[in-house]
C-alpha cells in the first residue's frame, strides 16, 4: 500500500513541470545554551512529504517522481548518545524513497542531481542559509558546462505549491487533528477543575499550577510537544494577547484565560477557554462572556464550504459591535449604531485581532488567505484608525477539508468612559473547525463553552 507521504510526493512531482526538481530540507538543530540543544522539531514541509522526524536530512524530488533522501548515516558512537538513526540503507524501504545517501555526501551528489534540469524549486525565505547553499550547488553545475551540463534556468518558490497542498487536509490529517483536539480539551478540563478545587480548599493557586495540568495531560495522552507556548492568564493578564503562563496568583472572583493546545504526530490543536477561577461567573463577567459566545456562534454559522474566509470575522464583529453598545462599552451618543462602530473600527479598542487562522502542521498554518482565482480583483481603502492605505483582495473561498480556528474575544482595559465593572476582564473562546459542505465540524468541543456547563464542570 502506498503511504500518504508517497502519495503527496507524487502529487508534488506532477506540479514541478518538465525537467523540474525540488529541494526540501528539514529544520536544523538549535543550541539552547552551553552543550544543550532545544528539543528538536522537524520542518513541517519536509515532514509532510516524508513522515521522517530526524534532523540533518534533505529530500530531493524530481518531476518524474524520483526521490532522493539525504539523512544521517548510522554511527554507533553517536547513537549511544543521541538515539538510534534510521540510516540511508533502511530509508529506502522504510520511507519509500527511490534512493538514500548520507547527509555528508549532499555537497558532492546534489549538484549532479541538478544538472540538466529546467527549473529548481525550493522553499524561499524559510531556511537560513539555504539560498547560499543553493548558489554553491548551482556554481558546481556551471563549472561543468564545458562537459555539456546545463544549469537550471529558472527558480521557483516551493512554498507556493506546498501551501496549496497543505491547505486542504486529507482524512489522515483530519484524524490526527481530532485526536490532538481531544487531548487538548481534556487538558483544559483538568486545569479548570484544579483551579476550582484548590481555591475551594483555601490553597494558593498560581498560573504555573494550571500550566502544569496542561502539560501533564498532553504528555499523559501521548502528545509529543506543546503546539505553542501556553497562555495561562489570570485576571488583568488576560488583556495581554500573547501573555505566557507565569507565576501570577489566581484569585477567586477573577477570570482565567487559557489558550493552549498540544501537537500530536506533527499536527497542532489550538483551544482557548475563559472560566471563573473559583467556578462561578459574576454578573459583569457573564454578560461579557455571553456576548463573546454569541459572536462565536455567529462565526460558526458563517463557516461552511462556499463561504469566504472573512465571513466568520464579519459575523463576529457585527455581534460584538452591537453588544459593545448594548453593554455601554461604547457610547451610542459618540459612536452611533453598530454599523457606525464597524465603519469607524471603534470596536478595535476591545477586539483587535482576527477571528481565525489556518490550522494544521503549524498552529498558524500555511496557505493564502486570498482567493487565488481572484488575485487581480482589488480595491484600496483608508483605515479609519491608522490612516494607512490598505489593499483589499477577495478572501479565500472555503472548501471542505480546510481547517481554521474560530476565536472571538473581548479585552477591556481601564479607560475613560469604560464602565468600571468591566475593567481588566479579558475573554476569548477558541475552537478548531474542519470545513464541511454544509457547515463545519468543531473538533474541540470536548471542553464546554456554555457558561452553565463550565460552572457545572468546575463544581465536579
Give the pLDDT score at 382.
85
- Cβ contact 177:360 at 8 Å: yes
Residues 328, 127: Cα–Cα separation, whole Å: 49
What pLDDT does residue 66 have?
98
Query: Most distant CA pair in the chain: distance in Å?
Result: 82
Set of cell numbers at residue 142: 556551471
DSSP state of 439: S
Please, what are the domains in the chain?
4-164 (3.40.350.10), 171-459 (3.90.230.10)
Q: Which residues contact 457 (CB under 8 A, 6 or more apart)?
A: 189, 192, 193, 448
Do 445 and 181 touch, CB atoms closer than 8 A?
no
pLDDT value of residue 1: 54
DSSP 224-259: -EESSPPEEEEGGGGGSTTPPP-S-B--TT-EEEEE
Contacts of 339 (CB under 8 A, 6+ apart): 321
Q: Please say whether the beta carbons of 277 and 234 come within 8 A.
A: yes
Q: Are strands 262-264 and 267-268 parallel, antiparallel or unpaired?
A: antiparallel
pLDDT tens-digit map of 353-386: 999 999 999 999 999 999 999 988 988 888 888 8
C-alpha dihedral, 435 to 441 to 446 to 447, nearest 10° = 60
CB 347, CB 370: distance < 8 Å: no
Could you give the C-alpha distances from 199 to 202, 203, 205, 212, 318, in angstroms and in order?
5, 6, 7, 16, 37
- Enumerate residue ranges in the chain where pLDDT < 50: none
Whole-angstrom distance, CA of residue 356 vs CA of residue 267: 17
Task: Determine the Cα–Cα distance for residues 133 and 113; give it in Å rounded to an integer.
Answer: 14
**In angstroms, what CA-CA distances link 84 with 105, 125, 153, 418?**
20, 31, 40, 60
HSE of 152 in the Cβ direction (CA atoms, 13 Å)? 29
Contact of 85 with 79, CB cutoff 8 Å: yes
Give SS3 for 203. Answer: coil
**H helix runs in 239-309, sequence order:** 283-301
Q: Which of 24, 22, 28 is nearest to 47 (CA)?
A: 24
C-alpha to C-alpha distance for 165 and 159, rounded to whole angstroms: 10
Span 234-251, pLDDT tens digits = 999 999 999 998 999 999
CA 82 to chain centre: 29
> DSSP for 33-63?
ETTEEPPP---HHHHHHH----SS-EEEEET
Residues with active-site annotation: 35, 242, 259, 270, 353, 357, 364, 407, 411, 428, 430
The strand order across the sheet containing 154-157 reads 99-102, 67-71, 58-62, 20-25, 119-122, 154-157
- pLDDT tens digits, residue range 324-364? 999 999 999 999 999 999 999 999 999 999 999 999 999 99
Distance between CA 170 and CA 196 in Å, rounded?
Answer: 39
pLDDT for the residue numbered 126: 94
CA distances from 369 to 213, 216, 297, 357, 398 (A): 35, 35, 22, 9, 10
Amino acid at each position: 500500500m502506498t503511504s500518504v507521504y508517497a502519495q503527496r510526493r507524487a502529487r508534488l512531482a506532477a506540479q514541478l513541470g518538465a525537467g523540474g526538481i525540488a529541494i526540501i530540507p528539514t529544520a536544523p538543530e538549535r543550541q539552547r545554551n552551553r552543550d544543550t540543544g532545544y528539543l528538536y522539531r522537524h520542518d513541517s514541509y519536509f515532514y509532510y512529504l516524508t513522515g521522517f522526524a530526524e534532523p540533518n536530512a534533505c529530500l530531493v524530488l524530481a518531476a518524474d517522481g524520483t526521490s532522493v533522501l539525504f539523512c544521517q548515516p548510522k554511527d554507533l558512537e553517536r547513537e549511544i548518545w543521541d538515539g538510534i538513526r534510521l540510516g540511508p540503507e533502511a530509508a529506502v524501504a522504510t520511507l519509500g524513497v527511490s534512493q538514500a545517501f548520507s547527509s555528508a555526501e549532499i555537497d558532492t551528489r546534489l549538484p549532479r542531481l541538478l544538472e540538466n534540469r529546467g527549473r529548481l524549486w525550493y522553499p524561499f525565505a524559510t531556511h537560513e542559509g539555504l539560498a547560499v547553499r543553493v548558489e554553491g550547488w548551482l556554481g558546481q553545475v556551471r563549472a561543468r558546462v564545458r562537459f555539456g551540463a546545463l544549469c537550471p534556468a529558472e527558480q521557483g518558490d516551493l512554498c507556493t505549491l506546498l501551501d496549496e497542498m497543505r491547505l486542504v487536509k486529507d482524512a489522515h490529517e483530519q484524524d490526527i487533528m481530532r485526536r490532538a483536539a481531544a487531548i487538548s480539551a481534556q487538558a483544559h478540563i483538568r486545569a479548570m477543575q484544579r483551579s476550582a478545587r484548590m481555591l475551594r480548599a483555601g490553597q494558593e493557586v498560581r498560573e504555573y499550577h494550571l500550566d502544569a495540568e496542561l502539560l501533564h495531560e498532553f504528555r499523559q495522552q501521548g502528545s509529543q510537544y506543546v503546539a505553542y507556548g501556553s497562555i495561562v492568564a489570570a485576571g488583568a493578564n488576560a488583556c495581554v494577547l500573547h501573555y505566557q503562563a507565569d507565576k501570577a496568583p489566581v484569585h477567586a472572583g477573577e477570570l482565567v484565560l487559557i489558550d493552549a493546545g498540544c501537537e500530536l504526530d506533527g499536527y497542532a490543536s489550538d483551544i482557548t477557554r475563559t472560566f471563573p477561577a473559583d467556578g462561578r461567573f459574576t454578573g459583569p463577567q457573564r454578560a461579557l462572556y455571553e456576548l463573546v459566545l454569541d459572536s462565536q456562534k455567529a462565526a460558526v454559522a458563517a463557516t461552511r464550504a462556499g463561504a469566504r474566509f472573512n465571513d466568520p470575522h464579519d459575523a463576529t464583529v457585527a455581534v460584538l459591535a452591537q453588544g459593545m453598545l448594548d453593554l455601554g462599552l461604547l457610547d451610542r451618543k459618540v459612536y452611533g449604531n453598530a454599523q457606525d462602530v464597524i465603519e469607524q473600527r471603534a470596536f478595535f479598542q476591545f477586539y483587535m485581532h482576527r477571528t481565525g487562522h489556518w490550522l494544521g502542521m503549524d498552529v498558524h498554518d500555511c496557505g493564502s488567505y486570498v482567493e487565488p482565482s481572484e488575485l487581480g480583483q482589488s480595491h484600496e481603502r483608508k483605515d479609519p484608525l491608522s490612516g494607512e492605505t490598505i489593499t483589499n483582495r477577495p478572501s479565500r473561498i472555503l472548501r471542505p477539508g480546510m481547517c481554521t480556528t474560530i476565536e472571538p474575544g473581548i479585552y477591556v482595559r481601564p479607560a475613560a468612559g469604560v464602565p468600571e465593572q468591566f475593567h481588566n476582564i479579558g475573554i476569548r473562546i477558541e475552537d478548531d473547525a474542519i470545513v464541511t459542505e454544509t457547515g463545519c465540524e468543531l473538533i474541540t468541543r470536548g471542553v464546554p463553552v456554555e457558561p452553565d456547563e463550565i460552572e457545572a464542570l468546575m463544581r465536579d
